[in-house]
Amino acid sequence: MNAMTRVAIGIEYDGSHFHGWQLQPALETIQGALERAVAEIAGERVAVIAAGRTDAGVHALEQVAHFDTNASRPLQAWIRGVNRHLPPAVAVRWAVPVEPAFHARFSAISRRYRYVLFNHPVRPALHGGRVGWYHRMLNVDRMSLAAQYLIGEHDFSSFRSSECQARSPVKTLHEVNIRRHGDYVLFDFRAGGFLHHMVRNIIGSLLWVGYGKVLPEAFAELLAARGRTLAAPTFAPDGLYFAGAEYAEHWRLPLSGRIMTPFDPVQP
């Protein structure tokens, strides 16, 4: 019998037609699609564990996951072979063997999310489901000022879903970057971890600041409230992307290190 091997994989997916990452009875999920595809190559059932669970309609640029298998296969089998059994909206980009101590979720140092917002009076058609949309013109400078109140360690209960299962609402947000490219506004977040719906709830409140409903300084009050009563409703999942996870170098993962969506400006 072959020794157990742990394999790490990098995945991208369009989550528009999936019910999120996590397995759910009778519903199509990213985890379910991957586990079926990997099982076809491994010849056995596997459990695929991700760095971060994404909600229904949320996408991934470089999700990191791992699975254990008794099967001995060339690395390309875990990429091209698995991809032959995946729906077109999901693809394994890389695969590497890792030490048994590696864990896609618990070994991650930080995680990144990007929200892509189409800021135009008319809704998008070709990019429907892959970008968020807001019709009023937004002031990026005002939103950036508001976002600075979120940097650091805080109780993020004001931006937490009522269904969140995290043990603590306290998270450390390392970075928020907001910039405009034509009709698109890109929101980038990096933190050690995120609460359920945290980014989408922050986006909704930032839009209030962007069109002048509240002042940037109101974000200090939102955090202090430690409840959902003052914050905006949860914004649409369409433009949200899991952009990647950070790991210690000794794991030797072939991470791209870039956050690139089809909505970035073309680099010269």
| pLDDT tens readout for residues 101-125 | 999 999 999 999 999 999 999 999 9
Q: What is the model's pLDDT at position 235?
A: 96
What's the N-to-C CA distance of the chain in angstroms? 53
Q: What is the model's pLDDT at position 31?
A: 98
Residue 15 CA, distance from chain mean position? 10
Q: Are strands 240-246 and 59-69 parallel, antiparallel or unpaired?
A: parallel
**Whole-prediction pTM:** 0.93
Is there a binding annotation on residue 241?
no
Report the distance separating Cα 104 and Cα 47, nearest Å. Answer: 12
Three-state secondary-structure class, residue 244: strand
The domains located in the chain, with CATH, are 5-107 (3.30.70.580), 110-242 (3.30.70.660)
Three-state secondary-structure class, residue 24: strand
Report the distance separating Cα 150 and Cα 206, nearest Å. Answer: 11
Q: Which of 14, 55, 183, 188 is catalytic?
A: 55
| Per-residue CA distances from 116 to 40, 183, 239 (Å) | 35, 10, 5
Q: What is the model's pLDDT at position 263?
A: 67
Contact 238, 132 (CB under 8 A): yes
Residue 64 DSSP one-character state:
E
Q: What is the model's pLDDT at position 262?
A: 64
Contact 223, 158 (CB under 8 A): yes
pLDDT < 70: residue spans in the chain:
1-2, 258, 262-263, 265-268
Q: Note if 14 is an active site residue.
A: no
